[in-house]
A and B are shown apart, each in its own frame.
Chain A
Amino acid sequence: MKVLVIYAHPAQQHSRVNKALAAVAKDVSDVSFVDLYAIYPRLDLNVDVEQQRLLDHDAIIFQFPLMWYSTPPIIKEWQDLVLEYGFAYGHHGEKLKGKLWLSAVTAGTPESGYGPEGHNRFDLRELLAPLEATANLCKMPYVPPYTLFAALKSENAANLEKHIAGYRLLLEALRDDTFDLDKACAQQLITGDTIKGLIKGKTT
């Protein structure tokens, strides 16, 4: 599968995890990578170019830090402009049908902060429901988000290493068609801990 990573982080000078993840994505061979804020610093998206980019790939990965329970603003802009009626949905709008949609999210709060008992009150998967609904309307199979919790905690270093290494495995498996889509979709989230079990021919 041809893999595209669409990366959005508005303040990369402050980033640790996403910067490292982006470096991995750039490093994996035969995976395309775009930094939306770098090519569109004035948010003036080129719709034709972006649509063609989507047509050229089979798996679309959105890599971003969670901000106020949502994506950075440029991804919303990207959705609004690129996912046009007649292209991504609606009449004659099935150009993206069958392409995978996968979010690679980092969240500042530990996992315990999410869910009905947590101070954020909702599951992370629930909070990303707008993306899931978007993928659904575009007839794109929605893969559970590849998630890192507690990304801001410095004591989380071991977990962080695992997440970054797992990201490489994820991209390579998608590229090599060794990603077990059915098994992945049965899960709520994918993490650095569970990624190995989703790759065909690998054992945990």
Chain B
Amino acid sequence: MSGFLFQAFVYLAAAVIAVPIAKRLGLGSVLGYLIAGIVIGPVVGLVGSETQDIQHFAEFGVVMMLFLVGLELEPRQLWGMRNKLLGLGGLQVTGTALAVMGVCMLLGLSWSVALAVGLVLSLSSTAIVLQTLGEKGLMKSDGGQASFSVLLFQDIAVIPMLALVPLLALPELLDALHHGTDGSGHATELSLVEGLVGWQVAGVTVLAIAAVIIGGHFLTRPLFRFIASAELREVFIATALLLVIGIALLMTLVGLSPALGTFLAGVVLANSEYRHELESDIEPFKGLLLGLFFITVGAGINFGILFGDFGTIIGMTLGLMLLKAAVFWCLALAFKLRGSDKWLFTLGLAQAGEFGFVLLSFTVQNGVIPADLSQSLLLVVALSMLLTPLLFIIFDKVILPRLTEDQVREVDEIDTKGAAIIAGTGRFGQIVNRMLRGNGYETIVLDLSAETVDNMAKFGIKTFFGDASRPDLLHAAGIREANLLVVAIDDHERTTEIVKHARMERPDIHIVARARDRIHVYELYNAGANDIIRETFDSAVRAGRSALEAFGIHPYEAEKISTAFQKNDRQILYNLARIYDPDIPVTENAAYIAGVREAGEKERETLTRSRGRNKGAVDRAWLPPGRILDLEE
């Protein structure tokens, strides 16, 4: 137990210290994790061989990441990408594999080993690249989209590669392998397709994919509604995790890539109203696992071998990256990527990736690549991943500034009608949403009640399920990019929390908040809301106006009175909000009490209509000439 706690402590401590420092220095979180790994592994020696096992576990972060990527991608968008996916991805994997294979054969390796090495090294690091692109907000750029297409294709390509690798086995290595592993034996993995003939395997595979798509489409909605109605957050998280792990398991059982399966599930759920909630639930797990993965990559670098053969290893790494970059450069030209997108695509993907580790150990197990070569290759893969953040830094600091100097600035495509986030779609938020939508503004509506979300859907109003008082959900809904936040929920403490958080996150966003009562108005004022609307005030004023009309006061006069009342009350509220102190109860706040009294006097004055010689504030403008003189005479 203490051993486990110690390990967890070391890994977490390394991440907590290294990552913020790396980010502060502009190195990005990935490099931070890698450095943390190097420090606790080879440098200090706090962790040892267990990093291998942890790495297998942490690779699951990649699976989660692809699920999240899928969530962001609607099926229509994916279909629109098919040309890029097959064209770019296919050409890249074949091109790079052949190029690497050619170089290896020139260096004197036999063709089968050379091909295996080419396949291993043709893959790039989904984990590093998507994480970095996401951090830099480049996912939606042309370069980002192209990179994503290639990475997705690579993840799919791993499956046929796994099938191909055993065919390349070298007889002498296989013999050695069988002698060496005698007795220990491979743990039999669970499999649904073992012992089946070809067409049966194909059938089971198609069934599994259909299950993911159809189940994702039809079953998740009632499932999530049922779970959400229990109103236990941890159960919802557990469900989200169960979903991802379940799909990954199913895919593994039929011999497909779990990353691909969860990606598909993500795409299927991209239209779901639970999308943002799922995103924010899975996100932290993905982040931690990926972080852990990067740490293990850093920790796994074998400095003994590295320094033993420093020149060769570094040469191989740089050569590989140069070769990969060259292939990407040609593809970028062929697919007409321009300017910064071309460079992003070329530099971003020039490393080998985490699937390279998987393939490498697989090749060794199958006797395709000799163990000593694989040791060097492991280092090359790890080093190339270590160098990738540096390439991104070069992209940021060297290439981007030059390009922006050279390029004529393109026309701003800023959508003047920006998105509004509306938290809560009950009686209050609905009205706001209808008014914004009716005038062509984009809205993202969040609500905590699964029932409301369903009902809204029946009326064609797209609403996402989730608790807007959670910062991560606000993030997922796009608080960083939104132009407006309307907090329309009826829980006043949560409203204040949301406003506080949003204001901290975005000093410039406009916040319209629903307030329960006066005290809540003061709280929201302190929290930084721009427009604070009391939920019942306007309707109460209208009721008062109706009451005045019922007493025979002319509608236009009643209107003037209620407008004057409203204005005066708002002014009072504004004055009192500045005197209000959340730490002192209002009944003990002397300044506040004095303010209320003064306000009472002023209200009587405002509401006094012209009677006798008094000029009432309400209707003084319409007083006939001479009326006051007449009275004074």
Identify which of A11, A13, A38, A152 contacts B555 (C-beta below 8 A): A38
Count of A residues near B, CB < 8 Å?
A: 12
Is B551 an interface position by the 8 A CB rule? Answer: no
Is B554 an interface position by the 8 A CB rule? Answer: yes
- Interface SS majority for chain B: loop
Is A108 an interface position by the 8 A CB rule? Answer: yes
Is A118 an interface position by the 8 A CB rule? Answer: no
**Binary interface encoding of chain A residues 26-50 relative to chain B, with 1 for a CB under 8 A from any of its CBs, else 0:** 0000000000011101100000000
Cβ-defined contact, B627 with A14, below 8 A: yes
Cβ-defined contact, A152 with B625, below 8 A: yes
Is B558 an interface position by the 8 A CB rule? Answer: yes
Cβ-defined contact, A11 with B559, below 8 A: no
Would A37 and B627 be within 8 Å (CB), given that A11-B619, A11-B622, A14-B622 are in contact? Answer: no
Identify which of B555, B556, B624 contacts A14 (C-beta below 8 A): B624
Is B626 an interface position by the 8 A CB rule? Answer: yes
The chain B residue with its CB closest to the CB of A74 is: B556
B582-633 contacts to A, CB under 8 A, are 609-610, 619, 622-627
Docked CA distance A152–B626 (Å) = 8
| Chain A neighbourhood of B555, CB < 8 A | 37-39, 41
Is B557 an interface position by the 8 A CB rule? Answer: yes
| Chain B neighbourhood of A38, CB < 8 A | 554-556
**Binary interface encoding of chain B residues 530-567 relative to chain A, with 1 for a CB under 8 A from any of its CBs, else 0:** 00000000000000000000000111111100000000
Cβ-defined contact, A37 with B554, below 8 A: yes
Most buried by B among A11, A12, A14: A11
Cβ-defined contact, B627 with A108, below 8 A: no
Cβ-defined contact, B556 with A41, below 8 A: yes
Cβ-defined contact, B626 with A11, below 8 A: no
Cβ-defined contact, B624 with A41, below 8 A: no
Docked CA distance A38–B558 (Å) = 10
Identify which of A14, A41, A152 contacts B559 (C-beta below 8 A): A41
Cβ-defined contact, B557 with A12, below 8 A: yes
A1-60 contacts to B, CB under 8 A, are 10-14, 37-39, 41-42
CB distance from B560 to the nearest CB of A (A): 8
Docked CA distance A38–B555 (Å) = 5
The chain A residue with its CB closest to the CB of B559 is: A41
Docked CA distance A76–B625 (Å) = 22
Cβ-defined contact, A11 with B625, below 8 A: no
| Chain A neighbourhood of B609, CB < 8 A | 13
Cβ-defined contact, B624 with A108, below 8 A: yes
Cβ-defined contact, A13 with B624, below 8 A: no
Would A41 and B626 be within 8 Å (CB), given that A11-B619, A13-B619 are in contact? Answer: no
| Chain A neighbourhood of B554, CB < 8 A | 12-13, 37-38
The chain A residue with its CB closest to the CB of B627 is: A14
CB distance from B624 to the nearest CB of A (A): 5
B341-360 contacts to A, CB under 8 A, are none
The chain B residue with its CB closest to the CB of A16 is: B624
Identify which of A37, A39, A42, A152 contacts B624 (C-beta below 8 A): A152
Cβ-defined contact, B624 with A10, below 8 A: no
Docked CA distance A42–B627 (Å) = 26
Docked CA distance A41–B556 (Å) = 4
The chain A residue with its CB closest to the CB of B555 is: A41
CB distance from A77 to the nearest CB of B (A): 13
Docked CA distance A74–B378 (Å) = 84
Docked CA distance A102–B511 (Å) = 52
| Chain B neighbourhood of A152, CB < 8 A | 624-626
Docked CA distance A37–B623 (Å) = 16
CB distance from A54 to the nearest CB of B (A): 22
| Chain A neighbourhood of B559, CB < 8 A | 41-42
The chain A residue with its CB closest to the CB of B625 is: A108
Docked CA distance A152–B555 (Å) = 24
**Binary interface encoding of chain A residues 100-138 relative to chain B, with 1 for a CB under 8 A from any of its CBs, else 0:** 000000001000000000000000000000000000000
| Chain B neighbourhood of A41, CB < 8 A | 555-556, 558-559
Docked CA distance A12–B610 (Å) = 12
Docked CA distance A10–B627 (Å) = 16
Docked CA distance A14–B631 (Å) = 13
CB distance from A187 to the nearest CB of B (A): 28
Docked CA distance A41–B562 (Å) = 11
Most buried by A among B558, B559, B609, B624: B624
| Chain A neighbourhood of B556, CB < 8 A | 10, 12, 37-38, 41
Docked CA distance A14–B622 (Å) = 8
| Chain B neighbourhood of A14, CB < 8 A | 610, 619, 622-624, 627
Cβ-defined contact, B558 with A11, below 8 A: no
Docked CA distance A41–B559 (Å) = 6
CB distance from A16 to the nearest CB of B (A): 9
CB distance from B564 to the nearest CB of A (A): 14
CB distance from A39 to the nearest CB of B (A): 8
Docked CA distance A152–B628 (Å) = 13
Top-4 shortest CB links A-B = A11-B622, A37-B556, A41-B559, A41-B555
16 A-B contact pairs sorted by A residue (CB < 8 Å): A10-B556, A11-B619, A13-B557, A13-B609, A14-B619, A14-B627, A38-B555, A39-B555, A41-B556, A41-B559, A42-B559, A108-B624, A108-B625, A108-B626, A152-B625, A152-B626
Residues of A within 8 A of B (CB): 10-14, 37-39, 41-42, 108, 152
Please name 15 further chain A to chain B contacts, defined as beta carbons within 8 Å, in addition to the given A37-B554, A41-B555, sorted by A numbering: A10-B556, A11-B624, A13-B554, A13-B557, A13-B619, A14-B619, A14-B627, A38-B554, A38-B555, A41-B556, A41-B558, A108-B625, A108-B626, A152-B624, A152-B626
